[in-house]
Structure formats: structure tokens, C-alpha cells
């Protein structure tokens, strides 16, 4: 499987971030992981590196329920920012929500590739990587 440079992990749950980073690291498929505890910090980071292709993540893993700016707020801001980015970044929602309304809402957003219910497993992550490297979003 092809390796990628960077994943952006946006989730306020410290334990989930730690476990997911551990899973990702153990696959040896990702060079760097940029982790953020809310959508606003992640948006500010993306704005700061918007023209630097090497700093932009290859994949975004996004939680829906966070303080300061939740996943929906992030998606709204990202939609405005996306045309200014030097590449397209696939977004995977990774959440504890099983609400059909959240699933439907996410499917209506073109930027969202998939809706994944926590926890993140190695198998799930490998499926994301397989999908990413075979579909080539950039």
C-alpha cells in the first residue's frame, strides 16, 4: 500500500486521539499526524499552510462533537477555504454518532468521503488508506 505524508486528526477526546495516533503509527503508512482538539484550531492551521502543498494533510479525520468549533462548523469553514488550497483533501467523519440525521447530513456534503462510527480500528484505517491510494483525490 502506498504511503502518505500527513493525516489531520480533529477530535477533542484525548484518549481517542492517542489510540488513533497509535493505530496509524503502527501501520507505518503515514509520515506525520497533525492532531487538533477542535475545528477552529484545525481551520486556522489549514489557512496558515493553504499554499504549502507539503504541509497540507492528505486525509482529514473529523469528529462531529467538539467544543469551540464542532465538525459541522469545520465543514462550513472548510468549504469556503477549500478553493484556496493547493490540493483536494478527502474528509472522513469519525464520530460516536449513530444518528441517521447526521449520516444523511454528511452524505449531502461532497467533501465528505465516508461516515465512520468510532472506535477507529486498524482494519478501518487500512480501508481508508486503500480507498485513498486507489482513488487518488489529488
Contact at 8 Å (CB) between 18 and 71? no
Per the prediction, the chain carries an average pLDDT of 91
Contact at 8 Å (CB) between 138 and 88? yes
**2 against 121, higher pLDDT:** 121
Residue of 56, 51, 58 lying closest to 30 (CA atoms)? 58
**137 against 68, higher pLDDT:** 68
Residue 35, phi then psi, degrees to nearest 5: -110, 140
Query: For 97-107, how does the pLDDT look when each residue is reduced to its tens digit (9 = 90+)?
Result: 889 999 999 98
pLDDT of residue 134: 75
Confidence check: pLDDT of 40 > 70: yes
Domains observed in the chain: 4-128 (3.40.50.2300)
Model pTM score: 0.93
Amino acid at each position: 500500500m502506498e504511503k502518505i505524508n500527513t493525516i489531520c486528526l480533529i477530535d477533542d477526546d484525548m484518549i481517542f486521539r492517542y489510540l488513533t495516533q497509535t493505530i496509524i503509527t503502527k501501520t507505518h503508512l503515514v509520515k506525520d499526524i497533525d492532531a487538533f482538539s477542535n475545528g477552529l484550531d484545525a481551520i486556522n492551521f489549514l489557512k496558515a499552510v493553504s499554499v504549502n502543498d507539503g504541509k497540507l494533510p492528505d486525509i482529514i479525520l473529523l469528529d462531529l462533537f467538539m467544543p469551540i468549533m464542532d465538525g459541522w462548523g469545520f465543514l462550513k469553514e472548510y468549504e469556503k477555504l477549500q478553493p484556496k488550497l493547493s490540493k483536494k483533501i478527502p474528509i472522513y467523519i469519525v464520530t460516536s454518532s449513530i444518528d441517521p440525521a447526521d449520516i444523511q447530513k454528511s452524505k449531502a456534503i461532497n467533501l465528505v468521503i465516508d461516515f465512520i462510527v468510532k472506535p477507529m480500528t486498524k482494519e478501518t484505517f487500512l480501508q481508508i488508506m486503500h480507498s485513498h491510494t486507489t482513488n487518488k483525490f489529488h
